[in-house]
């Protein structure tokens, strides 16, 4: 009997580890090639390589930062606002599981999975200042931003004893299954701050700045959709029924977001565009991220429908009215979508999907409003408010410090020539015979 139990435990660990390694690869795929293609297709052709390099740069730089101290600052014990340095240089992060976070997979697997979230978050922000920021300035800003915004908010929501951690002793229990607050609210509102601070592209909004290749963006969006299964379903941290539930919620919300955006676009403009369809899918994905492991399938569909229409209005009406140059609509999709998803998670989270939170008597605790806990909406809004405040202040500080080190914007003549030639000395396309 003891041998059978050991075999079953070993089999579970192997299955969970395989799923988490696959999920890690899927989330990395979201940054490159997914986000890199999605973003580069939306810019003008003279900026295609410069835009892709921003995503690729985060894959390299954030990886090293995470290995040195980032993982420790997020998942070390520390205090309610930042982790300690117990895992500095990945000390103690090896084959044995960390029972606090993921008891059935190697600690190193958990570490590398969480690293992929850290990589994509600053890469998302780059879409707001596309076509006008120096590559070295972007790298310096991103490193500073990780210390000032990402590491603290990730620890508060996911780290042991974090101020907003619903499952490990937080003061305000916020449900954030896969990064609605940590990734999308933080990057989305930071994106708005950077767009306002850096200023508009030359000619905006009077000059039409059309995407140079919607084909590339279409491929990137499809890769994002597929990769998001690792992002959301992988956050179950096991090959479990909860992973299945998050997988289903993710797919349904993305489909609903695409349909909702297309319908809103058809009503307003008379046509449903390819760009609108893929934008709606991404909006649905970003909005359901917070609640993917807490909501039922038709709640996810409703979240996706709200996401598509809501983000479309932000991008097509609000942005046009205020004329801020969020180049690739990071705030309109990720910031607003993340905020809506955070709030709606407080409404639709249910113990029928996730029973991990327990009452004193051992029974599953009610989660959201539909479970009879309307106060969870308040907790979600508190978490969102802290995330927004930290993102705004931290981003402003990071931008100011970066500007003291190096100029943020490329020169006017460099912007005319494009980032590819002026920053990297090469061109994305060569049509010569």
CA-to-CA distance for 280 and 274, rounded, in angstroms? 10
Whole-number Å distance between alpha carbons of 244 and 394? 36
Number of domains the chain is built from: 1
Q: What is the mean pLDDT of residues 46-57?
A: 98
Are 118 and 24 a contacting pair, CB within 8 Å? no
| pLDDT tens string 408-428 | 999 999 999 999 999 999 999
Span 94-121, pLDDT tens digits: 999 999 999 999 999 999 999 999 999 9
Residue 112: the pLDDT is: 98
Task: Write out pLDDT tens, residues 289-317.
Answer: 999 999 999 999 999 999 999 999 999 99
- Asked whether residue 431 is domain-assigned, the answer is no
pLDDT score for 9: 66
Query: Residue 378 CB: number of other CB atoms within 10 A?
Result: 11
Do 342 and 176 contact (CB within 8 A), yes or no?
Answer: yes
Residue 4 in domain: no
Task: Tell me whether residue 336 is in a domain.
Answer: yes
Domain harbouring 25, CATH code: 1.10.3430.10
Average pLDDT over residues 270-294: 98
For the chain, how long is the longest CA-to-CA vector? 76
Residue from 184, 192, 196 nearest 314 by CA: 192
Q: pTM value?
A: 0.96
Structure tokens at 2: 């003891």
How far from 45 is each of 236, 393, 420, CA to CA, in Å? 40, 34, 9
Task: Answer yes or no: are the C-beta atoms of 253 and 287 closer than 8 Å.
Answer: yes
Write a three-state SS string for 181-229.
Answer: HHHHHHHHHHHHHHHHHHCCCCCCCCCCCCCCCHHHHHHHHHHHHHHHH
pLDDT score recorded for residue 93: 98
pLDDT at 78: 86
How many other C-beta atoms are found inside a 10 Å radius of the C-beta of residue 103?
A: 13
- pLDDT at res. 8: 55
**Long-range contacts, stretch 147-151, CB < 8 angstroms, 24+ apart:** 147/73, 148/390, 148/394, 148/395, 148/397, 148/398, 149/186, 149/190, 149/390, 149/391, 149/394, 149/395, 149/398, 150/118, 150/121, 150/122, 150/182, 150/186, 151/70, 151/73, 151/74, 151/82, 151/83
**Across 68-77, average pLDDT:** 97
**Who contacts 400 (Cβ-Cβ below 8 Å, separation ≥6)?**
none
Tokens of 163: 């101020």
Structural domain includes residue 13: no
Find, among 27, 82, 44, 60, the residue nearest to 142 by Cα.
60
- 165 lies in some domain: yes
Beta bridge partners of 409: 133
pLDDT of 34-43, one tens digit each? 999 999 999 9
Say if 108 falls within a structural domain: yes
Interatomic CA distance for residues 426 and 413, integer angstroms:
16
Residue 285's closest CA among 326, 230, 215? 230
- 134-143 burial: b if 16+ Cβ within 10 Å, else e: bbebbbbbbb
pLDDT band at 12 (very low <50, low <70, confident <90, very high): confident
Residue 139 resides in a domain = yes
Domain extent, residue 376, equals: 20-424
Burial class (CB in 10 A: 0-12, 13-18, 19+), 197: middle
pLDDT value for 6: 63
Q: Which residues of 73-95 are buried (b: 16+ CB within 10 A; e: fewer)?
A: bbbbbbeebbbeeebeebeebee
Whether the predicted pLDDT of 10 surpasses 80:
no
- Position 4 pLDDT exceeds 70: no
How confident is the model at residue 258, as a pLDDT? 98
Euclidean distance between CA atoms 344 and 432, whole angstroms: 52
Q: Is the pLDDT of residue 66 over 70?
A: yes
In-domain check, residue 429: no
Please tell me the distance from the alpha carbon of residue 120 to that of residue 141, in angstroms, as a whole number: 15
- Confidence grade of residue 170 (pLDDT, cut at 50, 70, 90): confident
Q: Which residues contact 232 (CB under 8 A, 6 or more apart)?
A: 177, 178, 246, 247, 249, 250, 285, 288, 289, 292, 293
pLDDT of residue 208: 87
CB 312 within 8 A of CB 280: yes
Please give the Cα distance from 38 to 277 (Å, whole number): 13
The upper half-sphere exposure of residue 161, i.e. CA atoms within 13 Å in the direction of its Cβ, equals: 11
């Amino acid at each position: 009997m003891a041998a059978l139990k050991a075999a079953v435990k070993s089999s579970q660990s192997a299955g969970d580890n395989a799923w988490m390694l696959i999920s890690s690869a899927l989330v990395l795929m979201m940054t490159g090639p997914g986000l890199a293609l999605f973003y580069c297709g939306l810019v003008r052709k003279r900026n295609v390589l410069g835009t892709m390099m921003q995503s690729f740069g985060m894959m390299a730089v954030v990886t090293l930062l995470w290995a040195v101290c980032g993982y420790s600052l997020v998942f070390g014990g520390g205090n309610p606002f930042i982790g300690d340095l117990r895992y500095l240089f990945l000390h103690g992060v090896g084959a044995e599981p960390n029972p606090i976070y993921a008891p059935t997979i190697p600690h190193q697997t958990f570490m590398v999975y969480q690293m992929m979230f850290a990589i994509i978050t600053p890469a998302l922000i780059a879409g707001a200042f596309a076509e006008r920021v120096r590559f070295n300035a972007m790298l310096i800003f991103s490193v500073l931003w990780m210390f000032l915004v990402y590491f603290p908010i990730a620890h508060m929501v996911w780290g042991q004893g974090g101020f907003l951690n619903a499952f490990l002793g937080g003061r305000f229990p916020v449900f954030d299954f896969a990064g609605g607050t940590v990734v999308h609210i933080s990057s989305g509102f930071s994106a708005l701050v950077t767009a306002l601070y850096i200023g508009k592209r030359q000619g905006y909004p009077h000059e039409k700045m059309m995407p140079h290749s919607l084909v590339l963006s279409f491929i990137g969006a499809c890769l994002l959709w597929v990769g998001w299964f690792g992002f959301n379903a992988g956050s179950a941290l096991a090959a479990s029924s909860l992973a299945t539930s998050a997988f289903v919620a993710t797919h349904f919300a993305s489909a609903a977001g695409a349909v909702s955006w297309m319908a809103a676009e058809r009503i307003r403009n008379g046509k449903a565009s390819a760009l609108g369809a893929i934008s709606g899918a991404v909006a649905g994905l970003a909005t359901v991220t917070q609640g993917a492991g807490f909501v039922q399938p038709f709640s996810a569909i409703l979240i996706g429908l709200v996401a598509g229409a809501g983000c479309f209005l932000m991008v097509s009406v609000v942005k046009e009215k205020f004329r801020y140059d969020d180049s690739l609509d990071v705030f309109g999709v990720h910031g607003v979508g993340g905020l809506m998803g955070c709030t709606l998670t407080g409404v639709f989270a249910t113990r029928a999907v996730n029973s991990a939170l327990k009452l004193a008597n051992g029974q599953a605790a009610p989660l959201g409003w539909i479970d009879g806990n309307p106060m969870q909406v308040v907790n979600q809004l508190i978490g969102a408010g802290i995330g927004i405040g930290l993102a705004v202040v931290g981003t402003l500080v990071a931008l100011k410090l970066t500007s003291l080190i190096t100029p943020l914007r490329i020169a006017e003549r460099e912007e005319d020539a494009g980032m590819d030639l002026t920053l990297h000395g090469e061109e994305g396309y060569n049509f010569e015979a």
